[in-house]
């Protein structure tokens, strides 16, 4: 039976690949909804970009809902310097004709979790946690009904990619992240510590391009544009592919390895605002609230992406 998921996202090229990976795997994942949030680019663009992905995948029946257009407390920061002005620079995709779903994404998340059996819905946040934190704040009873939250965000051993200590998704809305990590919901974290091991090497991109389908060609264009920033920043052979790690973990958990630890979000110090304080060595008495991933079989990860995207 396919696992029921809600993808909360701010596309972003890597979000786009994660959405395609999920939509290409209907036997494994039942995508109940895609909920857009402001992050990599403002909400109007993340909503349109989500619609572009369901149409590119040939899955326009998957509903897309627009959510929060700003963080809970702090001003919105965006990342056009990484993703380009549209968020999906690198591929010439048509404007979507599929309408956005009616109602606010936060309300839809609450309704979908309440409408399905307890423990059956997994939330997959790929961007700032504003929609998820707001839903948990507005309807705290859904925490006990969720099966799991598998998210991309944070970093500890790798430091941050937006400040010295904070990863972008957590830094954009640390207050929402704090609510999520204190919620009691089982959490799996795909942080920079693992995503920086999932590098898009030239051989991976060449394989994707060789598939030759419209989806594969679009994905190749998106990733070729996207990786240029991280290659220049980090001096790596290829750029890290962050958000698809969330979906790949649901499809092939054996590709990843980590441990259950305590993770606390810094929400007071401007010096370390948004830091994910990962107690890897168990130095505190704080409860272990998140499974923090650190290792990935990168070749197996990209094998999965190429194989699944070739289906679309």
Active site residues: 242
User: Mean of the pLDDT values across residues 56-69?
Assistant: 98
As a whole-number percent, the residues of the chain with pLDDT over 90 amount to: 96
Count of other CB atoms within 10 angstroms of residue 246: 29
**CATH classification code of 3-309:** 3.90.245.10
Tokens encoding 82: 């990484």
Cα(80)–Cα(47) distance, integer angstroms: 16
Mean pLDDT, the chain, rounded, equals 97
Q: 10 falls in which pLDDT band (50, 70, 90)?
A: very high
Which has the closest alpha carbon to 71: 170, 165, 149?
170
pLDDT of residue 297: 98
160 Cβ contact list (under 8 Å, min separation 6): 166, 167, 171, 192, 274, 275
Is it the case that residue 281 has pLDDT exceeding 90? yes
Residue-wise pLDDT tens digits, 80-136: 999 999 999 999 999 999 999 999 999 999 999 999 999 999 999 999 999 999 999
Q: 292 falls in which pLDDT band (50, 70, 90)?
A: very high
Is it the case that residue 199 has pLDDT exceeding 90? yes
Q: 230 falls in which pLDDT band (50, 70, 90)?
A: confident
- Specify the pTM: 0.98
User: Cα-atom radius of gyration of the chain, to the nearest Å?
Assistant: 18
Cα(66)–Cα(12) distance, integer angstroms: 15
Residue-wise pLDDT tens digits, 241-275: 999 999 999 999 999 999 999 999 999 999 999 99
User: Mean of the pLDDT values across residues 207-218?
Assistant: 97
Is it the case that residue 160 has pLDDT exceeding 90? yes
Cα(128)–Cα(42) distance, integer angstroms: 12
Q: 231 falls in which pLDDT band (50, 70, 90)?
A: confident
């Amino acid at each position: 039976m396919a696992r029921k998921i809600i993808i909360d996202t701010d596309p972003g090229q890597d979000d786009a690949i994660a959405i395609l990976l999920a939509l290409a795997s209907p036997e494994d994942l039942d995508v109940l909804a895609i909920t857009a949030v402001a992050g990599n680019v403002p909400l109007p663009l993340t909503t349109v970009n989500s619609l572009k992905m369901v149409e590119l995948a040939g899955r326009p029946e998957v509903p897309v809902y627009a959510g929060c257009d700003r963080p809970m407390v702090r001003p919105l920061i965006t990342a056009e310097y990484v993703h380009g002005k549209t968020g999906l620079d690198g591929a010439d995709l048509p404007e979507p004709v599929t309408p956005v779903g009616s109602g606010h994404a936060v309300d839809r998340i609450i309704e979908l979790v309440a409408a399905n059996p307890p423990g059956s819905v997994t939330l997959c946040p790929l961007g700032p946690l504003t929609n998820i934190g707001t839903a948990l704040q507005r309807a705290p009873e859904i925490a006990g009904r969720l099966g799991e939250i598998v998210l991309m965000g944070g970093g500890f051993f790798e430091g941050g990619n937006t400040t010295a200590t904070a990863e972008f998704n957590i830094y954009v809305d640390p207050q929402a992240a704090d609510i999520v990590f204190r919620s009691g919901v089982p959490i799996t974290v795909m942080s920079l510590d693992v995503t920086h091991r999932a590098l898009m090497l030239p051989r991976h991109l060449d394989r994707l391009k060789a598939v030759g389908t419209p989806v594969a060609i679009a994905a190749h264009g998106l990733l070729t544009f996207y990786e240029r920033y991280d290659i220049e920043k980090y001096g790596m052979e290829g750029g890290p592919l962050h958000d698809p790690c969330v979906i790949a973990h649901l499809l092939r958990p054996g590709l990843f390895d980590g441990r259950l630890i305590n993770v606390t979000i810094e929400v007071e110090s401007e010096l370390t605002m948004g830091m994910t304080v990962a107690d890897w060595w168990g130095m505190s008495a704080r409860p272990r609230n998140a499974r923090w991933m650190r290792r990935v079989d990168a070749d197996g990860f990209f094998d999965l992406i190429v194989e699944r995207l070739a289906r679309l």
